[in-house]
A and B are shown apart, each in its own frame.
Chain A
Amino acid sequence: MALIATPIFVAGAPADADAFAEGCYKANANSLEYMNGNLDMNNIPTAGVIPAISREDIQKGALSRSGGVSGTANLDYFSNWFETLPNTTGFGPNNDLSCPADPAANPSNQSKYIAIPGAARQFYVPYISDAIFTWSIMWVNDSRDDAIFGSKTQATHIRLFVDGEPIAEQTRACSTTYGSFAGVKLPIFLSRARFWHGHHAVKGLPAGHHSISLRILASPASATRGLDQSRVWARSMRYFCFMQ
């Protein structure tokens, strides 16, 4: 909006009723009608560059919004929960989700991912905004790679989805965390766990409802099994939206 410009009466000239009425009521015409909720920063004087408004004048959430979700539980995902993917181009033996195959590159695979509680959030913003998402997650995978089981490393992928769409580079895989160290053998060796403290940014997120989620996809169960279980710890998923 711009500043208000009221009609000027000219001495000696007949008053123009139409111009006077528009000066009082016409919308979007620098009229006094602006006072009906349309006064803005242009109507607030500045001392230098510091305007005469304070934090108390601004509604909560008017300039930015944020929120998050987290969890503390062990989240176990077993291989028989996952279907054999319809498109396994580039995958390893036995249709494993081995690195570096990128399962979400095939659109028919995207629906096979499962959203992780504690790392998935829906939110609303009333304005177009620039958004930053941050998360912290850890996971392990009990597939083996040793003399007994042979090379049966099968990956567990976790990927970021924004509004239901996978993000190209926001994916990480964990191929095995089976560990043998100092005579101790553990299927879930935390020192080999996969940690992902990531962030993503979206410019011009439209007003409305949105969703962000980390989703998991593990190799399905097979006769020549390698992976039985993936365990996830979803520590946080946060969003920060700044009005554009």
Chain B
Amino acid sequence: MAEIDYEVLSEGDAVTAASLNDRFDEVRNGLNALESYALAPGALRHDHLPSVAGILATKAVGERFLEHTYTGAWAWPGTGFVVIADASPKSLEIVAPTDFTAFRLGMSEASGERWAGVLVHLNVHLIRSVDVDGSVVTLDTVHAVVGIQFKHGGVWYTVNRSVRLCEPRLGVLPTTSHKIYQDIPIATMIDSSDIVAAGLAKDASIQGIRGVAATYEPNDTASGAPTITLREGRITALRIRASGLTSGA
């Protein structure tokens, strides 16, 4: 298929509409269905190709030093998590269909697109941690917990390996006026194994991605949940194609 085999009109052959059409069709069909070996190495550049990535979605919170607090008591892997959001109101929640179109990983969409995974970056500024009795925490008490979740069927599932715990450092926080000065960064790729690990069917669609926060107090000396305060944060999600590039982009 698609190899151009042009038959020369010889002396004495009749020049008819059919004989001309056959030869032009051969050229046309060959160019419309190129074989891989017809391409010279490095022949394709950005003018010839669709994007390798899907639409990028990104959101931020905490602009102009707007603080927001969290008191949920975290338990492995995702109990107690609340979406990171400020009062402006902005949140680190990317959802379909507002921010992107729901999609499936590793499967063929109707459009012919195949997605390998979602690259997710999240970082958020931890300002302070305060225990339930109002005292500012020191070493090995209140942990800030941050993670990434994805949504399917109205339920949010935690990407277990994305969960980060951050405790105050030695000698920090003599008073509540002092900040922790700690950004918590997470970068991960959500792929089909995360869908299956969540107990969902392999072809379950992803309908949202968000950053979440909670608290963790391993050496609890006071009853009730502590509080962590966050400020600036950003989440970014970018779909990456599977190996097949298609014209359906």
Digitize B40-74: 1 where CB-to-A-CB distance is under 8 Å, 0 elsewhere. 01111111111111011010111111000000000
Q: How far is the CA of A56 from the CA of B36 in the complex (A)?
A: 10
Q: How far is the CA of A200 from the CA of B47 in the complex (A)?
A: 27
Q: How far is the CA of A6 from the CA of B248 in the complex (A)?
A: 24
Cβ–Cβ contact A53 & B52, under 8 A? no
**A57 is contacted by which of B43, B56, B64, B233 (Cβ under 8 Å)?**
B43
Cβ–Cβ contact A200 & B234, under 8 A? yes
Partner-B contacts on A (CB < 8 A)? 3-13, 32, 34-35, 39-46, 48-54, 56-60, 62-64, 99-100, 102, 105, 126-127, 130, 132, 134, 168-172, 174-176, 179-181, 189, 191-201, 203, 242-244
Q: How far is the CA of A134 from the CA of B234 in the complex (A)?
A: 12
Min distance, Cβ A124 to any Cβ of chain B, angstroms: 13
B82 interface residue per 8 A CB criterion: no
Chain B residues with Cβ under 8 A from A60's Cβ?
A: 42
Cβ–Cβ contact A57 & B36, under 8 A? yes
B33 interface residue per 8 A CB criterion: yes
- CB interface residues, B 1-27, toward A, < 8 Å: 1-2, 16-18, 20-21, 24-25, 27
Q: How far is the CA of A213 from the CA of B32 in the complex (A)?
A: 46
Q: How far is the CA of A201 from the CA of B47 in the complex (A)?
A: 24
Cβ–Cβ contact A4 & B20, under 8 A? no
Cβ–Cβ contact A6 & B56, under 8 A? no
Chain A residues with Cβ under 8 A from B123's Cβ?
A: 197-199
B183 interface residue per 8 A CB criterion: yes
Interface centre among A35, A50, A99, A242 (most CB of B within 10 A): A242
Given the known inter-chain contacts A6-B25, A192-B171, please indicate yes or no for A59 contacting B44, CB distance below 8 A.
yes
B28 interface residue per 8 A CB criterion: yes
Chain A residues with Cβ under 8 A from B46's Cβ?
A: 59, 62-63, 126-127, 243
Cβ–Cβ contact B32 & A168, under 8 A? no
Q: How many A-B residue pairs have CB under 8 A?
A: 204
Q: How far is the CA of A49 from the CA of B115 in the complex (A)?
A: 12
Min distance, Cβ B39 to any Cβ of chain A, angstroms: 5
Chain A residues with Cβ under 8 A from B21's Cβ?
A: 8-9
Chain A residues with Cβ under 8 A from B248's Cβ?
A: 49
Chain A residues with Cβ under 8 A from B41's Cβ?
A: 56-57
Chain B, residue nearest A54 (CB): B36
Cβ–Cβ contact A64 & B16, under 8 A? no
Cβ–Cβ contact B17 & A10, under 8 A? yes
Chain B residues with Cβ under 8 A from A99's Cβ?
A: 65, 179
Min distance, Cβ A219 to any Cβ of chain B, angstroms: 16
Cβ–Cβ contact B63 & A41, under 8 A? no
**B34 is contacted by which of A43, A64, A171, A191 (Cβ under 8 Å)?**
A43
Cβ–Cβ contact B28 & A4, under 8 A? yes
Chain A residues with Cβ under 8 A from B135's Cβ?
A: none
Q: How far is the CA of A231 from the CA of B46 in the complex (A)?
A: 43
Min distance, Cβ B128 to any Cβ of chain A, angstroms: 12
Chain B, residue nearest A47 (CB): B244
Interface centre among B17, B18, B31, B32 (most CB of A within 10 A): B32
Chain B residues with Cβ under 8 A from A9's Cβ?
A: 17-18, 20-21
Chain B, residue nearest A41 (CB): B247
B243 interface residue per 8 A CB criterion: yes
Chain B residues with Cβ under 8 A from A189's Cβ?
A: 171
Question: What are 16 A-B interface contacts by the 8 Å CB criterion?
Answer: A4-B31, A4-B32, A9-B17, A43-B34, A44-B247, A46-B244, A49-B246, A59-B44, A172-B232, A174-B181, A197-B185, A199-B236, A201-B56, A203-B56, A203-B58, A243-B49
Interface centre among B25, B114, B234 (most CB of A within 10 A): B234
B77 interface residue per 8 A CB criterion: no
Q: How far is the CA of A132 from the CA of B187 in the complex (A)?
A: 12
B112 interface residue per 8 A CB criterion: yes
Taking A35-B31, A62-B45, A199-B234 as known contacts, 9 extra A-B pairs with beta carbons closer than 8 A to each other, sorted by chain A number, are A6-B24, A40-B48, A41-B49, A63-B52, A169-B62, A191-B169, A192-B181, A242-B52, A242-B238
Cβ–Cβ contact A175 & B182, under 8 A? no
Chain A residues with Cβ under 8 A from B18's Cβ?
A: 9, 11
Cβ–Cβ contact A53 & B53, under 8 A? no
B155 interface residue per 8 A CB criterion: no
B125 interface residue per 8 A CB criterion: yes
B200 interface residue per 8 A CB criterion: no
Chain B residues with Cβ under 8 A from A168's Cβ?
A: 60, 63-64
